A and B are shown apart, each in its own frame.
Chain A
Amino acid sequence: MEILVSILIGVMTASAVYLLLRARIFPVVLGLSLLGYAVNILLFASGRLQLDSAPLVEHGLAQLPDPLPQALVLTAIVIGFGMTAFLVVLALRALHELGDDHMDGGDRP
């Protein structure tokens, strides 16, 4: 399972980097979101992956999952969501102000 998850994170990050290198703002926003997902799964995996274990705590179970990465991922999701929302609004504003959806915007040198 570790190999599957790491391949998943790798593919997502690679696609995100490709999208980030585009010149237009929309692919960049998509790339940043995709990178956010990849990072969240990576954070989640930093607490070790386990199958068939209790979600948080269960009496008599020898191996319990690590709750901290889950809390970190939750926080990261919330922050990432807010930041992406801000970026989308800013991108719209830039489209109006600069009349262009290029990352360097408007009458670029």
Chain B
Amino acid sequence: MNHLVVLPVLIPLLAGALLLLTARAGKTVERSIGLLATTAMLVTALALLSQVSAGELMVYYSGNWPAPYGIVLVADRLSALMLSLAALLALASLLYAISGEDRLGPRFHVLFQMQLLGINGAFLTGDLFNLFVFFEILLIASYALQLHGGGRARVRAALHIVVLNLLGSAIFLVAVGAIYAATGTLNLADLAAKVTTAGPGQTGLLRAGGLLLLVVFALKAALVPLGFWLPPAYASANAAAAALFAIMTKVGVYAILRVHGLVFGPDAGATASLLSPWLLPIGLLTVLVATLGVLASRDLRRLLAHLVVLSAGTLILTLGLNSEAATSAALYYALNSTLVGGGLFLLADLIARERGEAQTRLDCEQAVARPALLGTLFFLGAIGVAGLPPLAGFAAKLYILQSAYLHTAASWVFSAILLSGLLVIIALSRAGSALFWRTGDTDGLLRTPAGLLPAAATTLLLSGTAALMLGGGTVTAFTQATAAQLADRTAYIDAVMSNQAVVPSPQRKGGY
């Protein structure tokens, strides 16, 4: 049994505990521990990524309990990819935060690590109930991170998120109860094996459970009609928190891909392809609503929040195409949109710092102190997120369209993606010219611009889109392999249920 799999959960947990103990040791200690832990997480995630890239499924049986009785963590290509993405995003957000944002309230670093604990755990778990537990961990940390710094807008948005997500947790538990009552197991691999032989008396419960899970995951992924909580929340949150939140909607999408792909796949007996009538329309609607939101935004941060919803909608739309090529395209798109989305949130805060009172309002009144640097970064991010050549956003959209080409709903997908792309370009160019070109007032230029570190963190994330384009061949080969691995459900079930890794317990002396 390889203990590397449990490290992405252990590192933030221990670091968080350590941070609580050293709360009085000062900011420098806190920042070093946070940075150290997040770097360790990135290294671990990359090590995992290289180990699973050959196609091995790494299963970790906590406490050496055999599946399906114990708790299992499973690392496959998808988990490792998402872990690396989360760690990279977290590292950049943390680098940004330590330039001053973490002073705005207490316990920022503890919450940050707890948030990562929840995210990493959700990506690794092979058990439905533990998915619930890790969701709760990442949620409660995200409430506090969202509130970090305080203020009216944050409190008002947090109230909505907390109530909605508490409701979502209740629905999750109902779904868990229904699925457990029907099959007697919550281990995903065991569940996937058991739904194929489910009798007619259990089908109703299973269907209800599966669709309730979709409701919960759609709430997390901010899909229409459950995603209206997101824009005010992300627009009001701190830059570092908002950048990290760029991966939170992807956790919801990941859960749909994992749970529904594995358990309610095409060979799942009476509940086969449970979601296939739902994902495509939901995705289309989300893309439509989010694009309107992007167009209507009068503030850069709110515009970016709508872009996060748009990327989640595009992902669900692509997954709704229900083919291996589409899954691969969706993963590539997810990598790009997460990095650029996070980077743009950091950039918005850089702009807000230099514009002072005007913040990120899109009204041509206040110039920024470093128009060349910030303007270039904005240009890079806008091209990356809107999907113009030569950056990875373009390749991702092309890949999606290519995978949709022969689908019966191809005309819908094409029009949705191309039209939303055009409207996003219009909105972003309007925003860019309001922020950087048509600025009358240059009085405020005496403000000291933020140091080098925040700009470096922003550049790190935004240059991700260029890196993805340059390494496009390698990355798409990996996402294709990931999609193939996801389609091979028997391999997952066999790997988890075989228990071959379990070390035999030492012989007890003297018997019971």
Contacts and interface: CB of A to CB of B under 8 A. Distances in A.
Contacts of B156: 94, 98, 104-106
DSSP majority for the A interface? helix
A86 B181 contact: no
A35 B506 CA distance: 46
B163 A79 contact: no
A24 B150 CA distance: 21
A103 B160 contact: yes
Interface stretch (B8-16, B169-177, B280-288): B169-177
Given A75-B133, A80-B169, A82-B140, A90 B159 contact: yes
A42 interface: yes
Interface in A10-47: 20, 25, 28, 32, 35-36, 38-40, 42-43, 45-47
Categorize the interface residue count of chain B.
20 to 34
Given A75-B129, A75-B133, A80-B169, A42 B177 contact: yes
Nearest to A100: B156
B173 A28 contact: no
A36 B178 CA distance: 16
Contacts of A69: 177, 180
B155 A43 contact: no
B178 A46 contact: yes
A87 B166 contact: yes
B169 A91 contact: no
B181 A83 contact: no
Nearest to A96: B155
Contact of A97 (B133, B140, B155, B174): B155
A14 to B, nearest CB: 14
Contacts of A68: 180, 186
A32 B163 contact: yes
Nearest to A42: B177
Contact of B155 (A38, A46, A103, A105): A105
Given A35-B170, A93-B155, A97-B155, A47 B180 contact: yes
B198 interface: no
Contact of B162 (A35, A38, A66, A87): A87
Contact of A94 (B129, B159, B170): B159
A32 B167 contact: yes
A39 B178 CA distance: 11
B443 to A, nearest CB: 30
A45 to B, nearest CB: 8
A5 interface: no
Interface in B140-174: 140, 143, 147, 150-152, 155-156, 158-160, 162-163, 166-167, 169-170, 173-174
B101 interface: no
DSSP majority for the B interface? helix
Given A32-B167, A35-B167, A97-B155, A86 B177 contact: no
A103 B159 contact: yes
B299 interface: no
B363 interface: no
Contact of B173 (A43, A47, A87): A43
A98 B181 contact: no
Among A20, A40, A83, residue most surrounded by chain B Cβ atoms (within 10 Å) = A83
Contacts of A98: 152, 155-156
B166 A83 contact: yes
A40 B177 CA distance: 9
Contacts of A93: 155
A25 to B, nearest CB: 7
A83 B170 CA distance: 11
B170 A36 contact: yes
Contacts of B129: 72, 75
Interface in A34-92: 35-36, 38-40, 42-43, 45-48, 66, 68-69, 72, 75-76, 79-80, 82-84, 86-87, 90-91
Contact of B152 (A76, A86, A97): A97
A83 B155 contact: no
B365 interface: no
A44 to B, nearest CB: 8
Given A42-B173, A83-B140, 11 more contacts: A25-B159, A28-B163, A32-B170, A39-B174, A68-B186, A72-B176, A72-B180, A75-B129, A79-B133, A79-B169, A86-B162
27 contacts: A20-B167, A25-B159, A28-B163, A32-B166, A32-B167, A35-B167, A35-B170, A36-B170, A39-B173, A39-B174, A45-B177, A45-B181, A46-B177, A46-B181, A48-B181, A72-B173, A80-B169, A83-B140, A87-B162, A87-B163, A90-B147, A94-B156, A97-B155, A98-B152, A98-B156, A103-B159, A103-B163
Counting from the closest, the 3 A-B pairs by CB-CB distance are A46-B177, A46-B181, A43-B177
